[in-house]
Structure 1
């Protein structure tokens, strides 16, 4: 059989040409579609004014960066401010702390389950990574507000989080072992929670070493676009958000497009054990068809408001040029094979899921239909056009999974569905992935 395969390969001269080209230059260089690069220009019929892009560096905080980017654009416009950044490390600190508490509560909830049960193993797999979801971002803003970046600046480990996360995860797994052993030795739930408080005290201290101490009061100083100086003293992070942003994030809802048989459209879903703040807002998704999905994103952009979104960024992306387009690489032509999975099948069979959050800040519409979307990324200004990416509408259809829009854009029927009790998905469902 192997001999037959070898003869078949050698019988086609084009096979050797493909092999030599790919071995020499790599599949992406061979498969790059020049026409797609030319077509994906950075010009848009609708474009929102923004400041420079941000840079999450070697961390997985894209969802925080995207959330804070939507807020800073609103704050700058509302208060006539020059472009500035909000502190991502401040949000990171409280997310880590709240996730630790949330995880330990789930350990207590599952104290009767065997350690090798699928749920317990799922909880232990990644109790404290950098990723998150829109509703988790809302929980942090609700509870802790926001601060300017200079009030709690970046540290080595906020920008390069791998070692920090590894050590914090080791602590949490150790805490889990201690709590489960205490229960097996007859400890009550009350006693377990007393132990948990001691653990959180230690965890807070270690977080301070990595990220610094979070402020409770600060002075806000800035110059506006007219170069006038402003000073506002003794602000709490919550008061700062209320005064300078004042946006009710609860008016916004996560809308998804997940075309799988187990998630009918026009239903609301949540994911078991997906969250950060115990007792906070749950992660809630309204699943709709792609036409409705796209219409909602367009409606908000046409009102000059950015759109937070989640996607599978690694698929069909030309990173240096900042291009997201299914046509950017002709893998089928380069390899002489076909790739025939639908969007729903990619979700069901582990080929795709949401991996990254960014912000739409523009769109190009021709004859009433979008053909490309302007994307504000958080990978610094060295990729794409000063850090901005361009997404084709075809890529939107295939790899876009979530947008966050104001509820006012929902039709009355959809708005009513969004308020229904959500269907609970398993923790390992693909829509439980974190950006």
Structure 2
């Protein structure tokens, strides 16, 4: 059933708006200050106190700047806190540029794999289009970072510092996207013409091109480095000529990334089921992206248990919802847009996912929680937006926001129920690239 908007209807809309003088007062405030400032609820600050009953000993924060590397920052933040706790150096940081370099090479390789495997499908098919849309992207998941760490290790931030192109990936990312998409057309044509051997040779050449591009933009990763630092007690430490993998296995020997499970809360999917996102896997032969879908209470329980054991928690969320970057407040009642516009904007988590209104747009790190006789008051969040956001880089999140806008937490499998441990082992139900969890 279609409807043609008439001028008479529009005139009626205008009359309805103008007959209420309050509408003009509200409109002036919104137009002068913006709808978020006009709807800002300053009462939120009275309950988000930044005092936590459980809190990790952390200090400085990292800054991803103008890049989509939050998933990598959050993973390395969890690891650096583990390193800091073990070796009494809480401000030690790992190089995000190092693992970012390898992600570009590995992601290009798996992109070419996907393009070759789907060469028999139309260019405008949903699957091929999804692979093309993901070309050169920065965004990612926990298992993508875990795969890079397992294969290539980690290095201190001084061993491979940030560059202009890691702090602002726009230019390099656009060039890489164009390169990969052009290559895709060539590889598809060769496969379609039955020239498989030629396509394989050309894939190697293309990967060499990508390596050169990344080395120019980011710099080549170190093969060896000297670990040198002072701990919090001012003691000096030096360990010379380490490889990145030697460093990881020697200094983070207690961390087995295979022991961690991504719990997701996606009410638009069946609970107690393990899902995979093969379209977003980034390293061939390493970890697959796996999400165990469970009710929200299990994300909460496991996160608190891990925090109480002194370990940070990676979590995926929709950070642009009900968030103030300056104060670092995350609260479902932060902006009263319903009151401002006099409409009902509330949607369930399930409906937000179904319609695309909800998504995992960011990853951060839980480093504290505040409980009161079993009731959760708030959470302490370490972001990767530098010290000028929030309270020196730390955000405070209400438990309502946690329930509404957190979709994933990464926890050790020991915090799962026995049934969940079995489910986490498989089988995996693969989801398409256009799924709400992708």
TM-score bracket, shorter-length normalisation: over 0.9
3-state SS of 1:72 partner? helix
Equivalent residues in 2 for 1:33-432, closer than 5 Å: 33-188=41-196, 190-246=197-253, 247-260=255-268, 263-432=269-438
Residue 303 of structure 1 deviates from its aligned partner by 1.1
Shift of 1:329: 0.8
TM-superposition CA deviations, 1:250-293 (whole Å, max 9, x none): 11110000011xx2111110123221001221100111101122
Q: Distance in 2 between matches of 1:117 and 1:91?
A: 32
CA distance in 2, matches of 1:225, 1:103: 44
Q: Distance in 2 between matches of 1:230 and 1:122?
A: 48
Q: Is the contact made by 1:127 and 1:172 (CA closer than 8 Å) also made in structure 2? A: yes
* SS of alignment partner, residue 202 of structure 2: helix
With structure 2 as the length reference, what TM-score do the two structures score?
0.96
**Contact 1:51–1:84 (8 Å) recurs in 2:** no
Contact kept, 8 Å, 1:37 with 1:328, in 2: the verdict is no
Runs of 4+ in 1 over 6 A off after TM superposition: none
Asked if the contact 1:311–1:357 (Cα under 8 Å) also holds between the matched residues in 2, the reply is yes
CA distance in 2 between partners of 1:349 and 1:90 (Å): 37
For residues 382 and 48 of structure 1, what CA distance do their matches in structure 2 show?
A: 21
Distance in 1 separating the partners of 2:31 and 2:235: 60
Q: Deviations over 1:84-135 (max 9, x none)?
A: 2110000100001100001000001001111121111111112121111111
Alpha-carbon distance in structure 2 between the residues aligned to 1:103 and 1:93: 16
Displacement of 1:20: 1.4
Secondary structure at 1:430 match in 2: coil
So what's the TM-score if we normalise by structure 1?
A: 0.97
Partner of 2:279, secondary structure, is coil
Structure 2 gaps of 5+ residues are: 1-8
Q: Are the counterparts in 2 of residues 309 and 359 from structure 1 also a CA contact under 8 Å? A: yes
User: Where in structure 1 are there 5+ consecutive unaligned residues?
Assistant: none
Give the stretch that moved more between structures: 20-29 or 130-139: 20-29
Structure 1 position 302, deviation (Å): 1.3
Distance in 1 (CA, whole Å) between partners of 2:29 and 2:59 is 42
Aligned mates of 2:173, 2:72 — CA distance in 1: 16
SS in 2 for 1:431: coil
**Residue 82 (structure 1) shift:** 4.9
**How many residue pairs are counted as aligned between the two chains?**
429
C-alpha displacement of 1:235: 0.6
2:81, 2:90 within 8 Å by CA — same for their partners in 1?
no
SS at match of 1:353: coil
| 3-state DSSP of counterpart to 1:116 | coil
Instruction: Please give the secondary structure, in 1, of the residue aligned with 2:280.
Output: coil
Deviates more, 1:399-408 or 1:337-346: 337-346
Contact 1:44 1:363 in 2 (8 A): yes
SS at match of 2:28: helix
